[in-house]
Structure 1
Amino acid sequence: MDVIVTPTPRLQGEIQALSSKNYTTRYLLVAALAEGTSTIYYPAHSEDSDAMRRCIRDLGATIEEDDEKIVITGFGRNPSDVKELDVGNAGAVLRFLMAIAALSPEVTFINRYPDSLGKRPHDDLIDALGQLGVEVQHREGKLPITIRGGKPRGGKITVSGSVSSQFLSALLFLTPLLEEDSEIEVLHDLKSKVVVGQTLEVLEQAGIVIEASEDLMHYRVAGRQRYEAKKYIVQGDYPGSAAILAAAAVTNSDIIVHRLEEKSKQGERAIIDVLRAMEVPLTHENGIVRVQGNGKLKALEFDGDKATDAVLAMVAAAVFAEGTSRFYDVENLRFKECDRITDYLNELRKAGANVEERRDEIIVHGRPEGVEGGVEINAHYDHRVIMALTVVGLRAKEPIRIRDAHHVAKSYPIFFDHLRALGANIEWVE
């Protein structure tokens, strides 16, 4: 389905931030890898987290859920022998479970999204799994992928971090369960180090001991460890909230978002600092963010690798800023559900934004007077692109129609409900 976003001069009201997708998927996985019963309070509900639920159930976890919590009895290091897994369009779920599937005799990950996840490369993880003695059948590093494991071996492993940190996280989930100790060396560069920090945080909470170098490029992992059954509480989600806060920044607004921890390790927490640097009036205390936007923003420069999943929302705000903004070190955006540099900027141009791309940079020449809108644009099946284009539509002069906007459900199923509750003029259309 499509949405029509009509220019909306004012947003006002209060919402509760959605629960974090990143933490939910990690807690679901470590609960499944524990030999016992774990409880996760306030888990996220999205296509990604639902994909992890579905797959760990297929692998042998028992799951019971109510409105507040999910209770999981794990399969430990002995997943069920399943022939196929369907991760939907969830890249992180695929990569984490490619590693865990190494504990099974043979698992094929099917390809239901050939135009999105089906185009994304996984060669770096495939190479690393080969070093563990795992045979991987694939199509030029892409889905469908068959893992033939059963008895992966620890030892010295190298993995590139230049495309995604998810390959490293996958190895960090697997190696504690192996008989041998492991040493992991990250080659080249490591993208999204903050997200690796989240993985290490969750592993520590689950009772796993990993020695990590200060630069996060080297790891020592003792084998024969066991995941402990625990209770976890999922914090509010900064990546999704970034689009809500950006929407408030570009309009006249008075909105409050609850459940956003000041000391969160989510890199996308930087949306608060970015909006402050853009001179957006806001406060952040006791887990509550209040934005009293006046539509006036200043340009800035920002290292996007620190907050990958908030960059598109930041760019949307910068479209209306006074001056030229630069978001650098963002090349890994090209390897997401779509090319979040070329594809996204092409759609912004259709709406009237003045933007440029470099290999690893996004340049935004702000238009404080607004953009024309009045066009139909393609979100390329990407939830982050959908949310960011919606922010632009709220400040356009004419309505914008966003195609296939239902794919926002990948991470934020009630995104449009939340915006409408705040006063946004948004309509679903066939």
Structure 2
Amino acid sequence: MDVIVTPTPRLQGDIQALSSKNYTTRYLLVAALAEGTSTIYYPAHSEDSDAMRRCIRDLGAVVEEDEEKITITGFGSRPSDVKELNVGNAGAVLRFLMAIASLSPEVTFVNTYPDSLGKRPHDDLIVSLEQLGASIEHNEGKLPITIRGGQLKGGKITVSGNISSQFLSALLFLTPMLEEDSEIEVLHDLKSKIVIGQTLEVIEQAGIVIHASEDLMHYRIPGRQKYEAKTYRVQGDYPGSAAVLAAAAVTESDVTLRGLEEKSKQGERAIVDVLRMMNVPLTHDNAVVRVQGNGKLKALEFDGDVATDAVLAMVAAAVFAEGTSRFYNVENLRYKECDRITDYLNELRKAGANVEERQSEIIVHGRPEGVEGGVEIDAHYDHRVIMALTVVGLRSKQPIRIRDAHHVAKSYPIYFDHLKALGAQVEWVE
């Protein structure tokens, strides 16, 4: 389905932030890797987290859920012998489970999104798993992928970090369960180091010991460890909230968003600092962010690698800033559900934004007077693109129509419900 976003001069209201998708998927996984029963309070509901729920069930976990919590009795280091797994369009879920599936005799990951996840490369993780002893068939590093594992050996392995940190996270989940000790060396640069911090935080909470170097480029992992069954509480989601906060920043607003911890390890918490630097009036106390926007923003420069999943929302806000903004060190945006630099900027131009791209940079020449809109734009099946384009539509002079906007459900199924609750004029159309 498409959505029509009509210019909305004012947003006002008080909403609870969505639960974190990144933490939910990680808690679901470590609970499945434990042999007892774990409880996760306030898990996120999205296509990505639902894909993890579905796949850990297929692998042998017992999953029960009510409105407040989910309980999981795990399979430990012995997943069920399943022939196929379908992760939908969830890249992180695929990569984490490629590692776990290498504990099984043979698992094929099917390709149900050939125009999105089916185009993304996984060669770096494949090479690392083969170093551990897995045998892998693949389509030039892409889905479908068949993994034959069972008897992995541990030892010294390398992984490239310059495409995605998810490859390293996958190995960090796997290696503590192997019979031998392991040592991981990260080659090249490591993108999104702050997300590795989230992975290490969750693994440590689950009772696992990993010795990481200060620069996160080397790891020593004792083998023969067991994940412990624990109780977890999922914090609010900064990546999704970034779009809501950007929407409040570009309009006249009085918007309160609850559940966003000030000391969260989510890199996307930088959205609050970025909006402050753009002169957006806001406060952040006791996990509550209040934005009292006046629609006036100033340009900035920002290293986007620390907050990858908030960059598109930041760019959307910068479209209306006074001056030229620059977001650098963001090349890994090219390797997401779509090319989030070229594809996203092409759609912004259609709406009237003045933007440029470099290989690893986005440059925005702000238009404080607003953009024309009045166009139909393609979100490229990408939830982050959908949310960010919506921010632009709220400040356009004419409505914009975003095609296939239902793909926002990948991470934030109630995004448009939340915007409507704040007064945004958005309408679903066939």
1:335 corresponding residue in structure 2: 335
1:131 corresponding residue in structure 2: 131
1:356 corresponding residue in structure 2: 356
2:14 corresponding residue in structure 1: 14
1:149-164 correspondence to structure 2 within 5 Å: 149-164=149-164
1:248-287 correspondence to structure 2 within 5 Å: 248-287=248-287
Aligned residue for 2:72, secondary structure, equals strand
1:24-423 correspondence to structure 2 within 5 Å: 24-423=24-423
Distance 2:249 2:84 in 1: 45
Aligned residue for 2:39, secondary structure, equals strand
Residue 391 of structure 1 aligns with an amino acid whose one-letter code is V
How far 1:153 moved relative to its partner?
Answer: 1.0
Distance 1:363 1:196 in 2: 27
How far 1:385 moved relative to its partner?
Answer: 0.1
1:268-311 deviations in whole A, cap 9, x for unaligned? Answer: 00000000000000000000000000000000000000000000
Distance 1:119 1:316 in 2: 26
Distance 2:384 2:152 in 1: 36
Distance 1:269 1:286 in 2: 14
For normalisation by structure 2, the TM-score amounts to: 1.00
Residue 151 of structure 1 aligns with an amino acid whose one-letter code is Q
Distance 1:151 1:257 in 2: 48
Distance 2:155 2:93 in 1: 24
How far 1:312 moved relative to its partner?
Answer: 0.1
Aligned residue for 2:185, secondary structure, equals strand
How far 1:365 moved relative to its partner?
Answer: 0.2
1:155-185 deviations in whole A, cap 9, x for unaligned? Answer: 0000000000000000000000000000000
Cα RMSD over matched residues? 0.2
Distance 2:46 2:152 in 1: 32
1:213-253 deviations in whole A, cap 9, x for unaligned? Answer: 00000000000000000000000000000000000000000
Percent of aligned pairs with the same amino acid: 86
For normalisation by structure 1, the TM-score amounts to: 1.00
1:5 corresponding residue in structure 2: 5
Aligned residue for 2:199, secondary structure, equals helix
Distance 2:329 2:128 in 1: 25
Aligned residue for 2:189, secondary structure, equals strand
Aligned residue for 2:89, secondary structure, equals coil
Aligned residue for 1:8, secondary structure, equals coil
Aligned residue for 1:257, secondary structure, equals strand
How far 1:152 moved relative to its partner?
Answer: 1.0
Runs of 4+ in 1 over 4 A off after TM superposition: none
Residue 33 of structure 1 aligns with an amino acid whose one-letter code is L
Q: Unpaired runs of 5+ in structure 2? A: none
Distance 1:315 1:92 in 2: 24
Distance 2:146 2:189 in 1: 27
Distance 1:140 1:64 in 2: 38
Distance 1:330 1:17 in 2: 26
Residue 251 of structure 1 aligns with an amino acid whose one-letter code is T
Distance 2:133 2:175 in 1: 13
How far 1:261 moved relative to its partner?
Answer: 0.2
Residue 157 of structure 1 aligns with an amino acid whose one-letter code is I
Aligned residue for 2:279, secondary structure, equals coil
Residue 213 of structure 2 aligns with an amino acid whose one-letter code is S
Distance 1:84 1:15 in 2: 39
